[in-house]
Amino acid sequence: MNSSEKLQAVDLNSLRVIHYPDPRLKVVCTEVAYEDISETLRNLAFRMTELMFASRGVGLAAPQVGVTIRMFISSPEFQPEDCHVYINPKILALDGSEICEEGCLSFPQIYCKVKRAKTVTVQAMNLEGEMFTETATDLAARIIQHENDHLNGMLLSDRMSTVAKLANRKTLHELEAEFAAAK
């Protein structure tokens, strides 16, 4: 399916944040066609910000609401007036490294240390279809790298150390059981 077909299939009222191990989280997402940067996409982005703030998250990628297109949102300050949208992001540069505790709305109750670049330069499009380039550091850079991973089907569980996986084994198994029971 291309981005138009994926957007047409979206039912905004039934959108919710999906959890590991839903297979939609492992998909390499589709580029958003320029003509799809429209009202439908803006409505989806708006609904995603509502879901993100309601779940107390600082970032959310479209595949986390089951829409496997290359878009994510972030709000490092956790402020609705400071919410950024990235469409078809490309990471242009990564610099430095930092290990910090990270969580993910698709992995409730799990926090683990992940090594990321300290500074990232990203190029993306906004909801007006304008290209922009941004250099971010610390938490803002971490969110961009985490959400960009989602667009490639790369999850927190794939970034966890063996030790972190063992420490979170019980919670991961509970999420797997919940998913199996909901099917």
- Residue 107 C-beta: closest distance to Co ion, Å: 7
Interaction between residue 69 and Co ion (CB under 5 A): no
CB-based contacts of 39, cutoff 8 Å, min separation 6: none
Using alpha carbons, select from 8, 28, 40, 29 the residue that is nearest to residue 127. Answer: 40
The window from 38-46, 99-107, 110-118, 123-131 that contacts Co ion (CB under 5 A) reads 99-107
Nearer to Co ion, 74 or 88 (CB): 74
Among the listed residues 51, 104, 114, 117, the single contact to Co ion using CB under 5 A: 104
H/E segment holding residue 84 = strand 84-95
Q: Is 14 exposed, middle or buried (0-12, 13-18, 19+ CB in 10 A)?
A: exposed
Q: Which residues contact 114 (CB under 8 A, 6 or more apart)?
A: 99, 100, 101, 102, 146, 156, 159, 160
Q: Which of 48, 65, 151, 152 shows the shortest CA–CA distance to 106?
A: 65
Distance from C-alpha of 81 to C-alpha of 51, rounded to nearest angstrom: 15
When the beta carbons of 20 and 125 are compared against Co ion, the nearer one is 20
Catalytic residue among 35, 81, 134, 147: 147
Q: How far is the CB of 106 from Co ion (least distance, A)?
A: 5
* CA angle (138, 143, 149) in 5-degree steps: 125
As given in the structure block, the two tokens for residue 95 are 């610099």
Which of these ranges, 31-39, 68-76, 102-110, 114-122, lies near Co ion under the rule CB under 5 A? 102-110
Least separation, in Å, of the C-beta of 128 and Co ion? 26
Which residue number, 69 or 104, has a Cβ lying nearer to Co ion?
104
Q: How many residues bind Co ion (CB under 5 A)?
A: 1
Is 101 among the catalytic positions?
A: no
Nearer to Co ion, 20 or 124 (CB): 20
Min dist. Cβ of residue 111 to Co ion (A): 12
Binding residues (CB under 5 A) for Co ion: these are: 104
Catalogue the active-site residues: 147
